[in-house]
Structure 1
Amino acid sequence: MTITEYREEKEEEEEKEEGPPPFIESLIGSGPRRIALFVEPSPFAYVSGYKNRFQNFIKYLREMGDEVMVVTTHGGVPQEFCGAKVIGSLSFPCPFYTNVPLSLALSPRIISEVVQFKPDIIHSSSPGIMVFGALTIAKLLSVPLVMSYHTHIPVYIPRYTTTWLVKPAWFIIRLLHGSADLTLVPSAALAKELEQARVTDANKICVWNKGVDSESFHPQYRCDEMRLRLTNGEPEKPLIVHVGRLGVEKSLDLLKSVMDKLPEVRIAVIGDGPYREELEKMFSGMPAVFTGMLEGEVLSQAYASGDVFLMPSESETLGLVVLEAMSSGLPVVAARAGGIIDIIPEDQEGKTGFCFNPGDVDDCLSKLKPLLHDCELRETIGQAAREEMEKYDWKAATRIIRNEQYNAAIWFWRKKKAVLLRPFQWLFRCIFHVPEANYR
């Protein structure tokens, strides 16, 4: 290796490790911006853990003075949300999970709408198909691109297809996020995993802080009528509550194994999904109530009217339903995996909630039984959980993204504007008459 080659390699390594400077907010500024969000599936129609995340994100971006455009899948899309323009893109069902609509979002209509909007930054949910459209448009417009990673596909693939697809999935994730200026993840545990998998540079991975609507999810919503419904007319019996999308990847068969050992306990399963029919057959003849989807105050009542919240899933990138349960004053027993570790860290176990070894029914029961049969312990843990959740809100999380993490993305984008794409960007600007973004 020549001295010149060594110096070039050293400079590349230093550039890779270098992160944005401190006080980046004051360096770049955080005045009103135009933000184009590409979200797939729709946060207005598809019920999932990130629905509340994106709806609150849009709401508070608008409150902070930003112009927002949302491009999403077409089903159930409103014309606007909290003053943000919403554009539905023609979509098709996911081959392996037909309840999830997908869209490339690269039609001339979508491109024209985004160009006319003149975004200062593009933010896309990932993984999916729409993220390819967001990536293409961001590169052609030459604007910073942020990707937020919400569904850990490598964990889901073996449940729905075959394991040999896991490596190609990681390759695509690296390809996408390596092209982004910043990657947001919902938990520190997931950030560490993506860093270890070398999805992108470690300094380009940031945590999208957790948040919960502590006013909507509150112990005050405890309701005798709802408890009567969830216990199937036996409100005096201990009640386990589970809320979430009913998919095979959620390890919900553990609920059945637990209930086999607790004949005196009742369980309410709240939510819907492709695994619901099989679950109902599994629980046939048992004291279980399946409510289907609940929303609004009815959902708040369902949380607050239970005794213990049980989360067996090992694939949660965060676990927003766990936050909502804790905010409702419910003690949580959850699998020690994924984003749950961020919500109930090791030093808080036994104080704000309990974790069990994933898939270990006996360990789960050892944490559940004391809570189900000791009212004082339930109240102590539930109150501590509620107090912990009062520290978090969506507005604070949005402010960090807007004022710090978006600015970091702009800083990285400035450093590595793609020279090779300039001829294509010039041609694109000529066709669509696009003005160049100017960050001050």
Structure 2
Amino acid sequence: MSTFLHVTLITETYGPEINGVANTLGRLCDGLRLRGHTVELIRPRQGNEPAPEAPQDLMLCRGWPIPGYPGLQWGQASMHKLLRRWQRRRPDVLYIATEGPLGLSALRAARRLGIAVISGFHTNFPQYSQQYGMGFVTRLLTHYLRWFHNRSRTTLVPSVSQKLELERRGFERVELLSRGVDSQLFTPSKRSQALREHWGLHADEIAVLHVGRLASEKNLGLLKSSFEALSDSYPQHRLKLIVVGDGPQRATLQAQLPEAIFCGIQRGEVLATHYASGDLFLFPSLTETFGNVVLEALASGLAVVAYDEAAAGQHIRHGHNGALAMPGDEEAFIDAARWLLEDSETLRRVRLNARQHASRQGWNSIIEQFERQLYAVCPPENNQPGTAPVISPAPFRSPQ
């Protein structure tokens, strides 16, 4: 492919915010730019962020905080501003990563101007609402998200299980775009005996690690019960629970697990050192569209216990490079963790296999696939930079 695209990415979260969506979008943007494409980013302003120095490639809008999620926000609807902007400088294709007011206004503006749209299903909001016992909200969210995504040319999802679930619910034109991992950053070579000693562990003792947002939808009650079951089953081992991350459930968890070490949010090399200094990784979440931390833990040489879905379902072969349980079977999840600690050779072998598998899951092939998916919605005669694909705009109708 010898031509370059002008891609506009719309999102309500982006780095330095810490979550899987922001991390993935940063990788996609950087990868496209390295391949010569122009990437325009449209997102909410973060805190007291100053006006951009290069406004042609960055548009900031006002953000509104999301209740219960400090640091995350909805972007203000900006349809008329987007129309004016894109009439002056028209992108070839949009990638809408979030479905809030900003994403909706971008979808409406693009359809009015006849610009091709690809959408990404990054966050499983219907499952989140189910976790909070709001069945009626779940149905409304599913209806809205289906309406939203079916008005894009393609919806990209990160896992096979998510693709099948959306297709079952009536989502159309769903394609897979998986995730990669930086295996140079996340590597067993970052293991730190000094950090382990800081945690109160000696060389032959077990650090049980969890990394992620500490929120109700992450099923963290199972993290507590799993660790307690492991401690009871293997009194000969000295186990220590290490929790990396922050969120609304942190205070509750700290009260329930007074012996655990809570490290807060970690980034970059420090985060990689925390991963590599662990031994066993517990990931009890049932609401992931992917779960980037699973690949990061595998790349760091940890034995991962997770439910058989999303990233774990794609990348873990039970008994070979990790341990899986059927979604929702808590006793099987705990048994899988017990199996990994039955003998030191099992744990060592699984950890070696985990690293070997993850080291082959780089971002380059993901970026190449994303590039092909962007080209696919742009007719070849319109793939020159700054020109627009010829698409007959469908009339915009609000969801019923």
TM-score by length of 1: 0.81
Partner-residue secondary structure (3-state), 2:301: coil
Deviation at 1:95, TM superposition (A): 3.8
Matched, 1:205 2:180: no
* Match among 286, 289, 305 for residue 317 of structure 1: 289
Extract structure 1 runs of 4+ deviating beyond 6 A: 78-84, 412-416
The structure with the larger Rg is: 1
* Match among 373, 393, 417 for residue 362 of structure 2: 393
The amino acid of 2:90's aligned partner reads: K
Deviation at 1:393, TM superposition (A): 1.4
Partner-residue secondary structure (3-state), 1:399: helix
In 2, Cα distance between equivalents of 1:109 and 1:184: 26
* Match among 143, 148, 155 for residue 183 of structure 1: 155
2:327 aligned residue = 358
In 2, Cα distance between equivalents of 1:370 and 1:156: 30
Matched, 1:406 2:380: no
Partner-residue secondary structure (3-state), 1:410: coil
1:247 aligned residue = 215
In 1, Cα distance between equivalents of 2:37 and 2:302: 36
What do residues 50-91 of structure 1 show as CA deviations (whole Å, max 9, x unaligned)? 222111111110011001111111115587799993322101
Partner-residue secondary structure (3-state), 1:176: helix
In 1, Cα distance between equivalents of 2:365 and 2:53: 20
What do residues 123-165 of structure 1 show as CA deviations (whole Å, max 9, x unaligned)? 1113333220210121122110010000111101133462111
Percent of aligned pairs sharing the same letter: 29
Looking at secondary structure, tell me which structure has more helix per residue.
Answer: 1
**Are residues 234 and 288 of structure 1, via their aligned partners in 2, closer, same or farther at CA, if it must alter by over 3 Å?**
farther
Runs of 5+ unmatched residues, structure 2: 232-237, 381-387
Partners of 1:78 and 1:86 within 8 A in 2: no
In 2, Cα distance between equivalents of 1:391 and 1:84: 36
Deviation at 1:410, TM superposition (A): 2.9
Partner-residue secondary structure (3-state), 2:341: helix
Deviation at 1:237, TM superposition (A): 2.6
Matched, 1:258 2:232: no
* Match among 82, 91, 102 for residue 119 of structure 1: 91
> RMSD in angstroms over aligned alpha carbons?
2.6
* Match among 13, 17, 42 for residue 46 of structure 1: 17
Matched, 1:219 2:188: yes
Runs of 5+ unmatched residues, structure 1: 1-28, 422-440
**Are residues 113 and 374 of structure 1, via their aligned partners in 2, closer, same or farther at CA, if it must alter by over 3 Å?**
farther
**Are residues 220 and 82 of structure 1, via their aligned partners in 2, closer, same or farther at CA, if it must alter by over 3 Å?**
farther
1:291 aligned residue = 263
The amino acid of 1:418's aligned partner reads: P
1:58 aligned residue = 29
Partners of 2:118 and 2:152 within 8 A in 1: yes
Matched, 1:417 2:392: yes
What do residues 324-383 of structure 1 show as CA deviations (whole Å, max 9, x unaligned)? 000111111112234421222xxx211111102334343223222242353322221111
Which deviates more from structure 2 when the two are superposed, residues 390-399 or residues 322-331?
A: 390-399
Partners of 1:189 and 1:339 within 8 A in 2: no
Count of matched residue positions in the alignment of Structure 1 and Structure 2: 382
Matched, 1:93 2:62: no
In 1, Cα distance between equivalents of 2:228 and 2:27: 39
